[in-house]
Amino acid sequence: MAEFTMELSDEQKEVRDWLHGFAADVIRPAAAEWDEREETPWPVIQEAAKVGIYSLDFYAQQYFDPTGLGIPMAMEELFWGDAGIALSIVGTGLAAVGVLANGTEEQIGTWIPQMYGDAGDVKLAAFCSSEPDAGSDVASMRTRAVYDEAKDEWVLNGTKTWATNGGIANVHVVVAVVDPDLGSKGHASFIVPPNTPGLSQGQKFKKHGIRASHTAEVVLDNVRVPGSCLLGGKEKLDARLARAREKAKKGGVGVPPAGDRGSVKNAAMATFEASRPAVGAMAVGTARAAYEVALEYAQTREQFGRPIIDNQGVAFQLADMRTSIDAARLLVWRASWMAVNGKPFTAAEGSMSKLFASETAKKVTAQAVQILGGNGYTREYPVERMHRDSAIYTIFEGTSEIQRLVIARTLAGMPIR
């Protein structure tokens, strides 16, 4: 087990500086253009693939960093560059985490490489969980998966929404209901391979922020996938469903055993729990970017014969901004270290990191706009875009309200549904 440390190794610093250089030289110059176009920035993704950032190898190296800091460090630097473009680069990772969290070794080895492709033929992947009537309330999911035993196939029907890369992805990971009587415990995840008949893109959303990232509905109309596309396999699913049915029969209520407290028992929530500290790191990157713009502006902008940073009202805002950013990073790093070292989130530390970092990004970017005054409200300065982008962090992969609910239920020793 790696000891928790706030000091990056020389190798980690080298990777951080490399990512920072890519963010500064490639992502930032393209940010305003792709925000206006509201299209997937394929040239930037392809450039990321060429240098090795958009690749299975790179994310595997960061994911298996024994300190746990590889992924949050990478997310912070890329999102420091621009949130919309960075999400287009890392969006495939959520689907990959879905496979890592729920799949067999064979499924991991088969499907994750197909999610990325290679530098000469870049591919994308999408994780499809939310539905028009089931966002935070995953138990209300309606997309059904029915097993056709004669053909050893699963038949999927339903509509997913808010799917990053939805409809344009090479591989889709879809969470569906296999036993509606069990609520969220009756869910499973499925791989939908490339060019599978019946899967199509629905509405593409025009968004307030992160506009370079493709977000759309995914329609599943009698989509048939082989039995091998059930993540984890049918034997494991049947055993899990049998346990859930037995518990329901016994009227399983009340405080669960200590080993189950705060535990996650369904496919969508397992994916989100694994990815929340990474989302926190994204928020830290955006907040840090806005803070740096505001700091430089306050040092160079003069009013009444002196830089505005000499005014206590501005200086105190910057002090609070920097303090909150550093605190958010520490919560993210702690949760990431705990996750990679198998430390249970007994106080929902993953949700804590996402909650605090997300709220920090919204507040810091708003303060940056205020410090820049009228200039901050225009698209001539990047803080306007950063402020719009930051709004997503308190919404996707669990709203701030849901994070508070998860934290509260964990502290009370109640199961997370």
Q: What 3-state DSSP class applies to 200?
A: strand
Point out the catalytic residue in the list 36, 77, 397, 401.
397
Planar angle of CA 409, 276, 72, nearest 5 degrees: 140
Cα(41)–Cα(54) distance, rounded to whole angstroms? 13
Q: Is 234 exposed, middle or buried (0-12, 13-18, 19+ CB in 10 A)?
A: middle
The span from the CA of 364 to the CA of 250, in Å, is: 49
Q: Does the active-site annotation cover 397?
A: yes
C-beta separation of 163 from 218 below 8 A: yes
Confirm if 242 and 320 have CB atoms less than 8 A apart.
no
Nearest residue to 213 (alpha-carbon basis) of 94, 345, 368: 94
6-43 as b/e: b if 16+ CB within 10 A: eeeeeebeebbeebbebbeebbbebbeebbeebebbee
Distances (CA, A) of 340 to 242, 262, 376, 416: 30, 18, 39, 21
With residue 190 as reference, give the H or E element that holds it: strand 187-192
Cα–Cα distances in angstroms (integers) from residue 265 to residues 188, 192, 354, in the given order: 10, 22, 20
Q: End-to-end alpha-carbon separation of the chain, Å?
A: 30
Q: Catalytic amino acids?
A: 397
